[in-house]
Amino acid sequence: MMIERLREYVGAETPTGDAAALNAFADRLTTRYAELGGAVRRIPAPTGDHLVADFPGRGPQASAAPLLFLTHHDTVWPIGQLRDVMPWREADGIIHGPGVFDMKGGLVVLESALEEVADRDHRPLRVVVVADEEIGSPSARALVTAEAAGVYAAFGFEPPHPNGDLKTSRWGSTRVRIEVTGREAHAALDPGNGVSAIDELVDQLVAVRRVVAGHDHVLCNVGTITGGGRTNVVPGSAAAEIGFRFVDPSTEESVLAAVAALEPVRDAQLKVRVLSNRPAWQPSAASDELLAKVVAAGRSVGQEIGGAAASGAADTNLTGWLGIPTLDGLGPVGKGAHAVHEQVVAATLTERADLVAAIVTSL
């Protein structure tokens, strides 16, 4: 049943930014969560609706602080990836396809766990499904922060470490856009009156490298560059989007302040703006204590679970940064996130659902 549902979800492609596709998928989740006893709210956003589903508690802890489950339904893959590049395939216990690992497998694990605990005693449960997680959740940060208020703990359903260990902290992640406005002119007849936005952008990217080189434990990736139009026209505009990763808040603050303070080196206009930000979630005693409880829950269902820091960012950065006991990586074991060999180990779908059910009923 879990594999069939995963195939259904992978077949409904949901690239970030395609609001129609994401909202159609949100319709499926709304129906499914309602069937499982949840009260579902839809929060409109330009990139697609976010969902919040609240499941009542049962038994002695029916009125206790809830557990928060963080998920997302967007993927990095465009419409047609399934048909043209990454067809669904099952072989030797491995399932291949766009989104199986990041993170439709996690959505299926969560649903199955909710079904398992439907008749058991547990705290209230709150599920948040984000529509633009793959670009840093720019429209969902406030939602995640609001829904995290007063929860007992937060869990993410992103992929785990390769050996199945959960993620106990994450680097911070910030996306920055540098926009340059120069002045167009004929590149041969009047070059002196032109100001090349592309040349200015190149110099600014070199300056960014110097900033990064002055700090330890910073990752910097220039993900896109755009600008210009014709070789006989001095380009009047150019832009780049940069992804930064930071191990701690002080490094993040220092680097971003230096990037924001960049000045033009020629007669051009420069604009630097933050597109999305997830602060560093650092190791904490609260998350360590939560991990110890999860280890015990895992042993109750015959599983040995560990935990380790992670360099990738997700919405759990926000809850961890806020000081809420947080763990991530409850999705199935696999590999190839954001790569054409994306895959999950089929048997771990059931294993992870059993683990989540044990966590829910033991906390």
- By CB atoms closer than 10 A (0-12, 13-18, 19+), residue 274 is middle
Claim to verify: residue 238 and residue 312 sit in the same structural domain? no
332 vs 309: CA distance, rounded Å: 18
User: Is 133 one of the catalytic residues?
Assistant: yes
Query: Annotated catalytic residue: which of 13, 18, 49, 74?
Result: 74
3-state secondary structure of 22: helix
User: Distance between alpha carbon 339 and the CA centroid of its chain, in Å?
Assistant: 15
Q: What is the CATH number of the domain that holds 245?
A: 3.30.70.360
Claim to verify: residue 261 and residue 314 sit in the same structural domain? no
Give the model's pLDDT for residue 166: 98
Claim to verify: residue 116 and residue 12 sit in the same structural domain? yes
Query: Annotated catalytic residue: which of 49, 102, 111, 133?
Result: 133
- Percent of the chain at pLDDT > 70 equals 100
User: Is 74 one of the catalytic residues?
Assistant: yes
Residue finishing a domain among 254, 277, 300: 277
Residue finishing a domain among 277, 294, 324: 277
The continuous run of DSSP H or E covering 197 comes out as: helix 197-213
324 vs 327: CA distance, rounded Å: 10
Are 201 and 239 contacting, i.e. CB atoms less than 8 angstroms apart?
yes
- Domains contained in the chain, number: 2
Residue finishing a domain among 277, 309, 341: 277
Residue-wise pLDDT tens for the chain (363 aa)? Answer: 999 999 999 999 999 999 999 999 999 999 999 999 999 999 999 999 999 999 999 999 999 999 999 999 999 999 999 999 999 999 999 999 999 999 999 999 999 999 999 999 999 999 999 999 999 999 999 999 999 999 999 999 999 999 999 999 999 999 999 999 999 999 999 999 999 999 999 999 999 999 999 999 899 999 999 999 999 999 999 999 999 999 998 999 999 999 999 999 999 999 999 999 999 999 999 999 999 999 999 999 999 999 999 988 999 999 999 999 999 999 999 999 999 999 999 999 999 999 999 999 999
183 vs 269: CA distance, rounded Å: 10
Claim to verify: residue 122 and residue 214 sit in the same structural domain? no
Give the model's pLDDT for residue 38: 98
Q: What is the CATH number of the domain that holds 128?
A: 3.40.630.10
Q: Given 3-state DSSP classes, what are the helix, strand and coil percentages for the chain, each rounded to the nearest 5?
A: 35, 25, 35
Q: In terms of residue numbers, what domain contains 8?
A: 2-171+280-362
Claim to verify: residue 222 and residue 318 sit in the same structural domain? no
Report the 10 Å Cβ neighbour count for 330: 28
User: What is the pTM assigned to this prediction?
Assistant: 0.91
